[in-house]
Amino acid sequence: MPNVISPDGSIRQDNWVVVPRPAEGESLDIPADQPALIPADLWLAGYEHFTGREDIGVWFDSHDEPEILDGHVNELPVIAVNFPKFSDGRGYSIGRLLRERFGYVNELRAIGDVLLDQLQFMKRCGFDAYVLRADKDITKAQKCLNFFSQGYQAATDTDIPLFRRRAS
Amino acid sequence: MYVYDEHDRQMAAERVAQFRDQTERALAGELAEDEFLPLRLQNGLYVQRLAPMLRICVPYGMMRSDQLRRLARITRDYDKGYAHFTTRQNVQLNWPALEDVPDILAELAEVEMHANQTSGNCIRNTTTDQFSGVQSDEIADPRPYCEIIRQWSTFHPEFAFLPRKFKVAVNASENTDRAAIQVHDIGLQMVRNEAGEIGFRVHVGGGLGRTPMVGPVIREFLPELDLLTYLEAVLRVYNRYGRRDNKFKARIKILVKALTPEGFAEKVEAEWQHIKDSPTRLTPEAIQRIQAYFTEPDYAELDNATDLLASQRFENRGFDQWLTHNVDTHKKPGYAIVTLTMKKTGTPPGDVSDKQLEQIADLADEFSFGEVRVTHQQNVVLADVRQDRLLELWQAITPMGFGTANLNTLTDVICCPGGDYCALANAKSIPVAEAIQRQFDDLDYLYDLGNIDLNISGCMNACGHHHVGNIGVLGVDKKGEEFYQISLGGSSHHDASIGKILGPSFARDEMPKVISKIIDVYVDKRTEEETFLDTYRRVGIDPFKERVYA
């Protein structure tokens, strides 16, 4: 059961399972008794079957195009974005696009190589649930989410850049 | 010059606290080496051959005297009493201890300085022309736009882990490009449209390194209010589609080339359409607010001191040479722009001692409203000197070693720290610079040769900008031995071009002689008015090849 960090640093547990992309010719191995995150394109391929289900969410890999879900994002209870390596920054753009362009309002979860010092960026880019890599000290998440009290730019967390706040 | 408000101060202090915490976790073993690496790089901290190296940001090259004095103190307290001016208008310390770096950052923050994003795969310090605001041929002062970009790019949450480093440069002069914008990831040339409105011509995908390229234009006119949304669109396209599988193909120039400039521009336009009217769009008030920090200093109403200078020059040949080469025309009558050269033979180009930093601070206070600018040629500019005090200034700086009247000549070498300091280097660069400076020690001969950019890099990373030197020197490693490859015909100015490789490389002790032969060909072939670059472009590389490899 993963520990899930919230933007305020608090920690909860849930039982969402990330279902890996099946090998060529294999089918999706969705657990019967747990909510599952499946590759986004496969959710779309099985749209009739999956849409509206509270126990099925999707995940994107960092090279995936979130554009494929345009118009459908809010049919999903959870969307996860995988950071295959913490230094792969594509997930930040995916997060912002899902929130700011496609208007996604439900949970946006960071999975994969999620480390403490990247949480602050994920938070600003619209992620509101973080599954920290298991070997990292989860008690330090709250501190690492809150080093900064403000930012210069607009992002998902605020659409008012500092230059507009200064003017008001 | 820009002055922090409470927001800037707060974020600077928060950044110091964050880096202190990160350093403590790294020293405690909670962060693996590869996890700490990008965190320390985004704070300018390299681990080098001999010690860590800390690159301190000098936003678009501007510094105040109190900042120079603080740097001097830091080099004394935490380092070996000297610093190095880099080719991107920043300052480097070569010997700080890792555990001291948070304290150094705290000391810097007290004088509104930092080391944010001076390295790592993020948006780096925005650079510009060192003569901004004091030259008569600029569209507008580019520094407020650089500051606007600095604020937008600082801790940008989406662009902290780009495929590779990202450098932006802005130029505002219509006739000169001292910022070398066409060899940057984004080069912004300020322009006015037919309606007289200010905007930018946008070059994307220039760069040096392993695949040198001159950046193509992807937008002819970008209105000033759209600056940040457009940059955000370019960066988003790059962040999503730039290559991450191969470090040497990860710069934006490779993406632009792969998509073609037209294809890349289309992708950016499509992205931009979604965000161009977002709150990130600048407002006239926001620009004016930053411009208000860059108003003119309290100039005296003066006439040009033409007669006085003429008689002073007549009486003093050294002053005459210095005035000709190291002093430029100011937009304001009675004032002049002075470049202090940090290129005294025998001193590594760009190196300054703590004492010299304090001397420069004193000179700035005494002669130039307390401000200086660092140039990408690793010199320091006093931008607002009264003409009637130039002689006094020259007399003051000559014993300090800042008066060598070799600006823009062959011995005004651009040079990276090279194998003496840098872990990436294949070869030493400083001794090559010095040997060439010693070979060409006759100032009259240097003046006769005219402007020649000689740029030296110790490796492919091209910190010494060798591709765009009229003469470029690149250190290479051949089976463990240091050799030097020469290229000719590069330029970083408006007529930007990438130099062509002359042929097989040379051992270090051959270098002064080889450079002499190249210069001899120029002297033989040139017509009256031609610069080195003109002659090279007319006669081509063959005559040089024949002489050098004869």
Q: At residue B279, does pLDDT exceed 90? A: yes
What mean pLDDT comes out for the span B496-506? 93
Residue B409, in any domain of the structure: no
Residue-level pLDDT at A107:
98
Residues B140 and B289 in one domain: yes
Residue-level pLDDT at B274:
98
CA gap B440, A82 in Å, rounded: 59
Q: Which of B14, B39, B279 comes nearest A159 by C-beta?
A: B279
What mean pLDDT, rounded, does chain B reach? 94
What mean pLDDT comes out for the span A124-146? 97
Contact yes or no for A148 and B161 at CB 8 A: no
Residue B479: give its domain's CATH number: 3.30.413.10
Residues B190 and B334 in one domain: no
Nearest to B240 by CA among B163, B187, B184, B153: B163
Residues B419 and B325 in one domain: no
What mean pLDDT comes out for the span A60-75? 97
Q: At residue B389, does pLDDT exceed 90? A: yes
Rg (Cα) of chain A, in Å, rounded? 16
Residue B208, in any domain of the structure: yes
In this predicted model, what pLDDT tens digit does every residue of B83-94 receive, in sequence order?
Answer: 999 888 899 998
Out of A128-137, B14-23, B336-345, pick the least confident.
Answer: B336-345
CA gap B337, B373 in Å, rounded: 11
Q: Where are the beta strands (DSSP E) in B115-229?
A: 127-128, 168-171, 186-192, 198-204, 217-223
* B145, B127 Cβ separation under 8 angstroms: no
Q: Can you tell me which residue has the tokens 């003017």? A: A167
* B471, B452 Cβ separation under 8 angstroms: yes
* B204, B256 Cβ separation under 8 angstroms: yes
Residues B284 and B312 in one domain: no
Suggest the residue from A152, A158, A159, A166 to mutate for an interface test with chain B (most B CBs closer than 10 A). A152
The values of phi and psi at residue B413, to 5°, are -75, 135
Residue B42: give its domain's CATH number: 3.90.480.20
Contact yes or no for A152 and B158 at CB 8 A: no
Beta bridge partners of A18: A37
Residue B523, in any domain of the structure: yes
The total of structural domains in chain B comes to: 4
Q: Which residues of A touch B244 (CB under 8 A)?
A: 88, 90
Question: Which amino acid is residue B452, in one-letter code?
Answer: I
Contact yes or no for A92 and B160 at CB 8 A: yes
Residue-level pLDDT at B416:
87
In this predicted model, what pLDDT tens digit does every residue of B36-65 receive, in sequence order?
Answer: 999 999 999 988 665 789 999 999 999 999
- Structural domain span for residue A163: 3-167
CA gap B313, B493 in Å, rounded: 30
In 10 A of CB B333, how many CB atoms?
A: 12
Mark out chain A residues that contact chain B at CB-CB < 8 A: 86-90, 92-93, 96, 101, 115, 117-118, 120-121, 123-125, 137, 140, 143-144, 147-155, 159-167
Q: How confident is the model at residue B338 (pLDDT cuts 50, 70, 90)?
A: very high
Q: How many helices (H) and strands (E) does chain B have?
A: 18, 21
CA gap A50, A58 in Å, rounded: 10
Report helix angle B101-110 to B6-27, nearest 10: 170
* B342, B350 Cβ separation under 8 angstroms: yes
Q: How confident is the model at residue B194 (pLDDT cuts 50, 70, 90)?
A: very high
Contact yes or no for B157 and A137 at CB 8 A: no
Q: How confident is the model at residue B270 (pLDDT cuts 50, 70, 90)?
A: very high
In this predicted model, what pLDDT tens digit does every residue of B288-305 receive, in sequence order?
Answer: 999 999 999 999 999 999
Contact yes or no for A153 and B280 at CB 8 A: yes
Q: Which residues of A touch B245 (CB under 8 A)?
A: none
Q: Which residues of A touch B26 (CB under 8 A)?
A: none
Residues B419 and B365 in one domain: no
In this predicted model, what pLDDT tens digit does every residue of A79-103 receive, in sequence order?
Answer: 999 999 999 999 999 999 999 999 9
Residue B130, in any domain of the structure: no
What mean pLDDT comes out for the span B523-549? 94
- The distance from CA A111 to its chain's CA centroid, rounded to whole angstroms, is 7
Residue B117, in any domain of the structure: no
Shortest Cα–Cα distance, B280 to chain A (Å): 6
Suggest the residue from B158, B162, B252, B278 to mutate for an interface test with chain A (most A CBs closer than 10 A). B158
Contact yes or no for B5 and A147 at CB 8 A: no
Domain boundary among B76, B110, B144: B110
Q: Which of A93, A147, A148 comes nearest B158 by C-beta?
A: A93
What mean pLDDT comes out for the span A140-155? 97
Residues B261 and B370 in one domain: no
Q: Which residue of B has its CA nearest to A114?
A: B35
Mark out the alpha helices in A2-160 (DSSP H runs): 40-45, 47-50, 90-96, 119-124, 141-145
**How many CB pairs below 8 Å do chains A and B form together?**
108
Inter-CA distances, B36 with B128, B154, B536, Å: 31, 19, 47
Q: Which residues of B touch A87 (CB under 8 A)?
A: 38, 121, 161
Q: Which of A125, A159, A166 comes nearest B158 by C-beta?
A: A125
Q: How many helices (H) and strands (E) does chain A have?
A: 6, 8
Q: Which residues of A touch B18 (CB under 8 A)?
A: 147-148
Contact yes or no for A153 and B285 at CB 8 A: no
In 10 A of CB B219, how many CB atoms?
A: 18
Q: Which residue of A has its CA nearest to B148?
A: A163
- Structural domain span for residue B541: 414-548
CA gap B529, B518 in Å, rounded: 18
Q: At residue B355, does pLDDT exceed 80? A: yes
pTM of the model: 0.91
The string over B67-88, giving b where at least 16 C-beta atoms fall within 10 Å of a residue's C-beta and e elsewhere, is bbbbbbebbbebbeebbbbbbb
Nearest to B379 by CA among B355, B415, B346, B354: B415
Residues B541 and B424 in one domain: yes
CA gap A115, B52 in Å, rounded: 25
Residues B325 and B244 in one domain: no
The total of structural domains in chain A comes to: 1
Q: Which residue of B has its CA nearest to A88?
A: B161
Q: Which residues of A touch B17 (CB under 8 A)?
A: 147
Q: Which residues of B touch A88 (CB under 8 A)?
A: 161, 244
Beta bridge partners of B415: B456
Q: Which residues of A touch B121 (CB under 8 A)?
A: 87, 89
Residues in chain A: 168
State the Cα torsion B150-B156-B162-B165 to the nearest 10°.
20
Residues B311 and B289 in one domain: no
Contact yes or no for B11 and A163 at CB 8 A: no
Residues B376 and B495 in one domain: no
Residues B140 and B96 in one domain: no
Residue-level pLDDT at B494:
82
Residues B144 and B288 in one domain: yes
Contact yes or no for A152 and B30 at CB 8 A: no
What mean pLDDT, rounded, does chain A reach? 96
